[in-house]
């Protein structure tokens, strides 16, 4: 490379706009933060589940990595930052609501980690638009849009997980009924479902099994499942189980009746969604097409 080329490169770097340099720096930080976060979560697993497994004596759900999540020597600086943020955020009521939303969305991360990722990505997108328009105003707008988009993403994840939970509920109740007919107690039947069912309902019953092993009674463990999943069908099943435990009766027949009702409801809902799929897809396309075209034209020809 000639001296003139080197001088031109240095002058080009010096004359870069400060906002562009800041945008590139923040994008680099965002990428490194996401990478470090993924590595940290992969090696350490979920702290809550690991702690429940440790105290309940469940060895089937132990983390595959030999890293001890309670050993501070194995923690990265980013994890220490997340722990400090979690301590500060734990004093607010919004953090508990965010924790519940993350749990319902099946995202095994902490509120501080989630907020950090959302804010960094929102700031990075805002800086990109700031460089494009030459104004700092899109920066806070990008952060606000990222926070709104994160809530939408959580609700979509929660809706999908709840739909999967409800689709599995009929078969799960039949499994409970068959286990009861085979002579199992209700606690043993719940443990059988935890071992046999697939996620997400298998994970929920596994967590209930661990809570029962820690000393929580069956009614409270089932009520915790209702609060975590917000499923009306499962609430109906739990209510029937609680009533049967008080007044008695054949629980297997009750579960069979509820399972048949739930299966028919799921079948009818599936037929309705199939018949209306084309109309719903057309509505999504027609709604999003003007916005997409406007954004594309803005980048192609802003004037």
pLDDT tens for residues 178-203? 999 998 988 899 999 998 888 889 88
Mean pLDDT calculated for residue range 1-6: 53
State the pLDDT confidence band at 289, using cuts at 50, 70 and 90: very high
Q: Please state the domain extents for the chain.
A: 17-59+74-161, 165-275
State the pLDDT confidence band at 300, using cuts at 50, 70 and 90: confident
**What local confidence, expressed as pLDDT, does residue 288 receive?**
92
C-alpha span between 301 and 279 (Å, rounded): 33
Please check the confidence at residue 65 and state whether its pLDDT lies above 70: no
123's CB contacts (< 8 A; 6+ apart) are 26, 30, 139, 142, 143, 146
Compute the radius of gyration of the chain from its Cα atoms: 26
**What local confidence, expressed as pLDDT, does residue 277 receive?**
92
Percentage above 70 pLDDT, the chain: 69
> Read out DSSP for 161-177?
HHHHHHHHHHHHHHHHH
Please check the confidence at residue 30 and state whether its pLDDT lies above 70: no
State the pLDDT confidence band at 61, using cuts at 50, 70 and 90: very low
C-alpha span between 250 and 210 (Å, rounded): 26
Please state which CATH class domain 165-275 belongs to. Answer: mainly alpha
Which string of b and e fits 89-111 if b means at least 16 CB within 10 Å? beeeeebeebbebbbbbebebbb
Please check the confidence at residue 169 and state whether its pLDDT lies above 70: yes
Residue 19's CB: how many other CB atoms inside 10 A?
Answer: 15
**What local confidence, expressed as pLDDT, does residue 152 receive?**
92
Identify the weakest region by mean pLDDT among 50-64, 96-110, 182-196: 50-64
């Amino acid at each position: 490379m000639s001296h003139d080329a080197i001088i031109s490169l240095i002058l080009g770097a010096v004359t870069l706009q400060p906002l562009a340099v800041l945008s590139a720096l923040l994008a680099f930080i965002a990428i490194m933060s996401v990478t470090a976060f993924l590595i940290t979560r992969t090696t350490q697993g979920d702290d809550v589940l690991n702690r429940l497994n440790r105290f309940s004596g469940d060895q089937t759900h132990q983390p595959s990595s030999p890293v001890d999540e309670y050993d501070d020597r194995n923690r990265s600086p980013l994890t220490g930052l997340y722990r400090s943020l979690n301590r500060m955020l734990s004093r607010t009521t919004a953090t508990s609501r965010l924790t519940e939303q993350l749990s319902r969305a099946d995202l095994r991360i902490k509120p501080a980690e989630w907020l950090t990722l959302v804010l960094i990505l929102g700031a990075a997108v805002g800086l990109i638009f700031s460089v494009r328009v030459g104004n700092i105003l899109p920066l806070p707008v990008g952060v606000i849009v990222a926070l709104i988009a994160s809530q939408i993403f959580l609700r979509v994840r929660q809706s999908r997980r709840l739909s999967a939970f409800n689709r599995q509920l009929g078969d799960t109740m039949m499994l409970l009924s068959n286990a009861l007919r085979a002579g199992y107690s209700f606690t043993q039947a719940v443990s059988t479902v935890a071992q046999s069912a697939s996620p997400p309902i298998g994970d929920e019953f596994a967590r209930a099994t661990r809570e029962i092993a820690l000393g929580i009674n069956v009614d409270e463990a089932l009520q915790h499942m209702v609060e975590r999943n917000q499923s009306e069908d499962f609430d109906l099943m739990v209510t029937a189980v609680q009533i049967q435990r008080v007044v008695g009766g054949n629980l297997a027949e009750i579960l069979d009746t509820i399972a048949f009702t739930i299966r028919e409801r799921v079948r009818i809902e599936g037929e309705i969604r199939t018949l209306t799929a084309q109309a719903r897809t057309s509505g999504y396309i027609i709604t999003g097409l003007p916005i997409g075209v406007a954004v594309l034209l803005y980048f192609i020809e802003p004037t």
